[in-house]
Amino acid sequence: MSENKNKKFSIGKLLIAILVILLVVLLCISLFKKDDSSNNDPVTRDFFTDYYNSLSSGYSGNWKLGTNVGVLNDKVASNVKAKRTQILGSNKDIITIMVYMCGSDLESKNAMGVYDLQEMAAANLSDNINLIVYTGGTTKWHTNAISTQVNQIYRVHKGGIEQLVSNAGTGSMVDPSTLTSFIEWCADNYEANRYELIMWDHGSGSVGGYGYDEKYPKLGSMSLAQMDKALTDADVAFDFVAFDACLMGNLETGLMLAEHADYLIGSEEAEPGIGWYYTDWLNALSKNTSMPTIEIGKAIADSFVAQCGKQTPGQSATLSVVDLAELSATIPSKLSAYSSATSELIKSDFKTVAKARSGSREFAASAYSDLVDLVDMASTIGTSEASELVEALLSCIKYNNTSRDMYNSYGLSVYFPYRSTRYINSTLNLYEQIDMNEEYTECVRNFATYATSGQVSSGGSHNAYQSFNSYGQGYGNNTNGYDYYYTQQGSSDLVYDLLSLLLSGHNTYSNSTNYQSYYADDLFSLLFGRGIDRSMTQYIADNHFDGDLTVNDGKIALSEKQLSMIDSIEYNVFIDDGTGFIDLGKDNVFDYDEEGNLIAPEDNTWLAISNDNSNWQVIPYYFTYSIDDNGSLISYGTVPVKLNGSDANLLLYLDDESIEIVGATYTYDDVDVIAKNLEELSVGDELEFVCDYYDYDGNYLDSYILGDKFVVGENTYIGDISIDDYKTLASYEIKDIYQQSYWSTPLR
């Protein structure tokens, strides 16, 4: 009986979803009027130059509020409750450090866990420090001393590791009960007045949580809500909870941990695979076990960033120390005020909020994590409520250190959806579980509703082939011309397309290298239980990208009004192999003439790889972000590959003088984990370059291995080569302020 009820509910839910979205879209249609004069707006060359430069220059190489890197803040706001941990002083403190080391593929593939254990063992540990390590979560330890079959507990002691528990079971390390049992065991067997917890592995912050147990890949990660349960059940007050894992330095993690610890130590950005450098800070703590916690955090951050600068100089590093007592006392009210003010601004001027979000420091950008520095974004919003929030946040962040390139990374990120709809539903559900600030939750919902409604209503293109077909190239069966939902298509066509989107569940325009999907239930879940806001439909009607991207005489004409709706422009290149298209990726290059018309880049080149600087092989490439570093443009991007048979992305660093492979990161299909970055490639590593492949109708067929298997040599070069010998098509992809994509007809 319950099964039939569930089926009826699901059908009813789908019908409501269809009805709600159709009403929204039909309202938009009724408000839209074709504006044929948009291309005739008066323009100036200076305007186009400034605007195009702003799109291409990326993040500014300046700290908007001045840097807080390397500044230790030992002051605490008034009316903040006393810390849980009482430091005895005079080097009398007993410390139990619990390291929860979920080895995962970090250990099985690259021995990163064993390397960190060696760093711990190299420290001259005080007898007042109990360094206890829980091991598991990997299919292979690169030492015979640790079992791969069962979880175990070790003590780092006298320059080595001492086994304390030979069999701690086989439970998954992303199971909250496993973490609880470890904490309880340590507290029972190594009593101390200072307890520290370090969570070691991959991490994805609020959007994915912590950990990837290689033995239990289908279990995913431990969410913040599950971690909260584990810590609540263990009932131990921590001096600090720290993450030697990616992306865990965020507001949601801090607010959740405030009931369990005095401080959070975590990284806003994805960590380099080498992780923390343990020897130096453990030595410093051993000399004085009464060291203030913020000074411990400073020592950890400084040694981490310094070591990354030596071993992984092209990779970014961040680490901050946050006072959780101050965070919980001062931030909620100011976050509420900021969120309410921003929600009102979204309704009246979504574009301003979208531009602020787009221009703020973003983390794990290539994974579309939508984690953004909260101080940076709030300062860009610029309301009085935002300024008060910024001041309070900077007071809570007691120490912050970053690599040189991480401008405007102030120490705490937050989820704010824009690049992708991927995490909207799961994160909003998480917010309910961890009692996230209600006003901020509503602010996120409001922004996502506008963005998703703008995507659905604006139409645009799901891939480049719609524009190719409309150009009369003879590809596929579409000969109806370029899609403009509000200028050429009737409402019946729009309803048909929308219903197709709903009933198909989603339409992904790139399967293996672009994570953004258009999920049919996103708008429904955001609007369910809420009235349809006519002001939203009016705003979208008045503010939409209505442009003809057909190339005429080698040019695309855009007005100031159209440009004001653009978030980004990228150059998308395809190889026509006679049966379909090989997608080479996207770069942030574009060119324009004196009248401001977009034109094809002067050079018909693309990235390629070589071991001898002569025999070049073309490779796929996806631009991630760029930094204007005092007039020098530094760009970062990824190359999809199979690295020794495993799915991965090469990490590229590009400046005015060179292009370098600075590392790699593995990708996962079965869990939302953002992996730590690997060190530089080794001689003998095998690379296969992975592209998306489409037929002439634009249907994704499969991944395509481009060229021959490449073996990394003593000297591996990345550079631009001419692709005139290939039969190629190239198009500009324009994204509007709602993150809807539009492709031009072929430029070449």
Task: Read off the pTM.
Answer: 0.89
Point out the least confidently predicted range of 397-406, 408-417, 533-542, 725-734: 533-542
Provide the pLDDT for residue 385: 98
626-663 core/surface letters (b: 16 or more CB in 10 A; e: else): bbbbeeebbbbbbbbbbbeeeebbbbbbbeeeebbbbb
Q: How far apart are CA 137 and CA 149, in angstroms?
A: 10
Which of helix, strand or coil describes residue 501?
A: helix
| DSSP-derived secondary structure for 188-249 | HHS--SEEEEEEES-B-HHHH-B---TT-GGG--B-HHHHHHHHHHHT--EEEEEEESTT--
DSSP assignment string, 336-381: HHHHHHHHHHHHHHHHHHHHHHHHS-EESGGGT--EEEHHHHHHHH
Identify which of 238, 623, 255 has the alpha carbon closest to the alpha carbon of residue 413.
255
The confidence band for 11, taking pLDDT boundaries of 50, 70 and 90, is low
Q: How confident is the model at residue 537 (pLDDT cuts 50, 70, 90)?
A: confident
C-beta separation of 733 from 464 below 8 A:
yes
**What average pLDDT does the chain have?**
86
Q: Is 70 exceeded by the pLDDT of residue 460?
A: no
Residue 181 vs residues 100, 104, 178, 210, 479: alpha-carbon distances, Å = 11, 20, 5, 17, 64
Q: How many CB atoms lie within 10 A of CB 605?
A: 17
| Weakest-pLDDT range from 65-74, 405-414, 532-541, 689-698 | 532-541
The confidence score (pLDDT) of residue 669 equals: 73
Residue 479: predicted pLDDT: 32
Least confident of 92-101, 176-185, 444-453, 537-546: 537-546
Q: pLDDT above 90 covers what percent of the chain?
A: 65
Confidence of residue 678 (pLDDT cuts 50, 70, 90): confident
393 by DSSP, 3-state: which?
A: helix
Instruction: Give residue-wise pLDDT tens across range 269-327.
Output: 999 999 999 999 999 999 999 999 999 999 999 999 999 999 999 899 999 999 999 99
How do residues 243-265 score in pLDDT, each as one tens digit? 999 999 999 999 999 999 999 99
Give residue for tokens 């840097």.
67
Residue 16, pLDDT score: 58
For the cut 50, the answer to whether the pLDDT of residue 190 exceeds it is yes
Looking at per-residue pLDDT, the higher value among 455 and 502 belongs to 455
30 band by pLDDT with thresholds 50, 70 and 90:
low
Q: Which of 497-506, 545-554, 605-614 shows the lowest mean pLDDT across its residues?
A: 497-506
Burial 208-242, CB ≥16 within 10 A → b, else e = bbbbbbbbbbebbbbbbbbbbbbbeebebebbbbb
Residue 477's pLDDT is 39
> Residues 557-596: pLDDT tens digits?
988 888 889 999 999 999 998 888 899 999 998 888 888 8
Range from 141-155, 536-550, 553-567, 719-733 that averages highest in pLDDT = 141-155
How confident is the model over 191-196, as a mean pLDDT? Answer: 98
Report the percent of the chain where pLDDT is more than 70: 83
Rounded to an integer, what distance in angstroms lies between the CA atom of residue 290 and that of residue 194? 9
Dist. CA 642–CA 706, nearest whole Å:
11
Contact between 665 and 315 under an 8 Å Cβ cutoff? The reply is: no
Residue 714 corresponds to which tokens in the numbers above?
Answer: 């003593």
Checking if the pLDDT of 605 tops 80, the result is yes
